[in-house]
Amino acid sequence: MEWIKKGFPYVIIILVVILIRTFIVTPVRVDGTSMYPTLKNKDIILLKKYDQNYQYGDVVILNYMKTKLVKRVIGVPGDSIEIVDGTLYINKKKVDDPYSNITADFSLLQLGYTEVPEGYYFVMGDNRKASSDSRMIGLIKKSDILGTASFRIFPFNSFGSVK
């Protein structure tokens, strides 16, 4: 009976950690250079699972063919997307996007859509030349997005906000 009393706090701690990792936040390791210079290969970021309200510019983690990809939201439901001569246009309005200048011309029409349908998102990596993103793999279902990343925890010299 004494070992139960001594072990009970450890059981509670383990349960709390499991609940936090399951429902609130969990670390994710960046694999590859598709989000460079914002994120580098092997950076560790915190995935906020509770954040389900995705907006333009959010860094999101998504499931794609049983792997986790880290990308930036470029288009939300209802948006038309076009990149012409290195300039990003959302809903026919020029958008200040620091990574589009290295992006080949693209139109959402190439994927068979005039606008991003309800329940889907258009995502791209910041390193547009080395990113497999919505231009290649198509629109991303909201249900395939695991959450947002706004905080880097490793390496320690880059500890802080992800934008």
DSSP 19-31: HHHHHTEEEEE--
Q: Are 22 and 145 in contact (CB under 8 A)?
A: no
- Sequence-distant (6+) residues with CB within 8 A of 21 are none
Catalytic: which of 48, 71, 131, 134?
Answer: 71
Catalytic residue at 48? no
161 phi and psi, to 5 degrees?
-65, 145
Catalytic residue at 134? no
Tally the C-alpha atoms within 13 A of residue 93's C-alpha that lie toward its C-beta: 5
Catalytic: which of 5, 6, 34, 42?
Answer: 34
- Point out the residues that are catalytic: 34, 71
